């Protein structure tokens, strides 16, 4: 069976070395084309996709190269769902907000455990927000202005997919105060997230119901696909934490971005070296199709 194998790296020498390593590993490469200065797209004959992925990862293990192996047909997706914190943006908003309350170390430690899957997401979220009770709501805007930045390639990724008619949705276990602004900045069609309860100009320490967590992200994938009249197989998802894992595993191409180990191990592809435009290359887009930020 023929598969598409995409190699992406910020280092052109690493790409050439990866191409050589694959040939040395005996993989049946039928063709190789450049998608741009940072990506090669190969067509490979293989009996089984899982074996191809394993063989490719082993061949390039010592190189700063991200790889994606998938069927040739259906690479370009019609729906894109993305996690926000540490995926589309550079920080965990709740951790940065905690800094304004002098609690960053304590709250960040809980966040890390939750994202690794060591704590139930809903309970960890409630605990962290409870610790912020009494924080002035003006800290929200300060946090956004001073700390939140799009990760490299995020705006180009979203704007290119929107230009191609793809529905793009930001789905976060974080908070709508931030997702609304990030969605507008990056160009998403819509956003889903949790809400703070605010009274008298301060956080009450409560989270608005219902809480959007791991199951809700999967539900968002299924609901958005149903609305479009497509299957989840025609969707692309990306995230980094345990609460992203269900949607990553349920779609056509689930990508782990700078992810926690349990997520990286179970995603169909991972991005550890390149920026977020790797997700465009994985779908077969050429660099000259990218919509600049």
Q: Pick the catalytic residue from 55, 85, 95, 240.
A: 85
DSSP single-letter state for residue 164: T
Q: Verify cis geometry, omega within 30 degrees of 0, for the bond prior to 43.
A: no
Residues 172 and 222: their CA atoms lie apart, in Å, by: 15
The verdict on whether 85 is a catalytic residue reads yes
Q: How far apart are CA 181 and CA 158, in angstroms?
A: 14
272 has catalytic annotation: no
Q: Which of 83, 240, 244, 246 is catalytic?
A: 83
Task: Give dist(CA 66, CA 282) in Å, integer.
Answer: 10
Instruction: List the alpha helices (DSSP H) in the chain.
Output: 12-24, 49-59, 93-99, 104-115, 121-131, 138-147, 154-163, 176-186, 214-228, 245-250, 261-266, 278-282
Positions annotated as catalytic residues are 83, 85
């Amino acid at each position: 069976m023929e598969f598409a194998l995409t190699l992406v790296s910020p280092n052109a020498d690493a790409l050439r070395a990866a191409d050589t390593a694959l040939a040395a590993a005996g993989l049946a490469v039928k063709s190789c084309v450049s998608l741009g200065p940072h990506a090669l797209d190969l067509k490979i004959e293989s009996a089984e996709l899982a074996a191809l992925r394993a063989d490719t990862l082993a061949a390039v293990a010592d190189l700063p190269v991200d790889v994606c192996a998938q069927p040739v047909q259906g690479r370009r997706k019609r729906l894109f769902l993305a996690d926000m914190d540490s995926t589309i943006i550079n920080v965990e908003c709740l951790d940065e907000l905690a800094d304004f309350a002098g609690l960053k170390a304590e709250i960040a430690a809980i966040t890390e455990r939750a994202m690794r899957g060591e704590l139930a997401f809903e309970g960890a979220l409630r605990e962290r927000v409870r610790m912020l009770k009494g924080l002035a709501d003006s800290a929200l805007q300060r946090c956004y202005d001073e700390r939140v930045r799009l990760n490299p390639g995020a705006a180009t990724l979203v704007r290119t997919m929107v230009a191609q008619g793809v529905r793009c949705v930001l789905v976060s276990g974080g908070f709508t105060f931030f997702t609304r602004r990030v969605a507008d900045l990056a160009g998403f069609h819509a956003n889903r997230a949790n809400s703070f309860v605010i009274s008298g100009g301060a956080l009450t320490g409560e989270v608005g119901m219902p809480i959007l967590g791991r199951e809700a992200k999967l539900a968002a994938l299924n609901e958005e696909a149903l609305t479009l009249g497509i299957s989840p197989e025609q969707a692309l998802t990306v995230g980094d934490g345990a609460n992203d894992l269900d949607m990553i595993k349920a779609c056509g191409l689930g990508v782990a971005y700078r992810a926690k180990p349990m997520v990286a191990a179970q995603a169909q592809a991972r991005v550890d070296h390149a920026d977020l435009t790797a997700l465009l290359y994985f779908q077969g887009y050429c660099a000259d199709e990218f919509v600049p930020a």
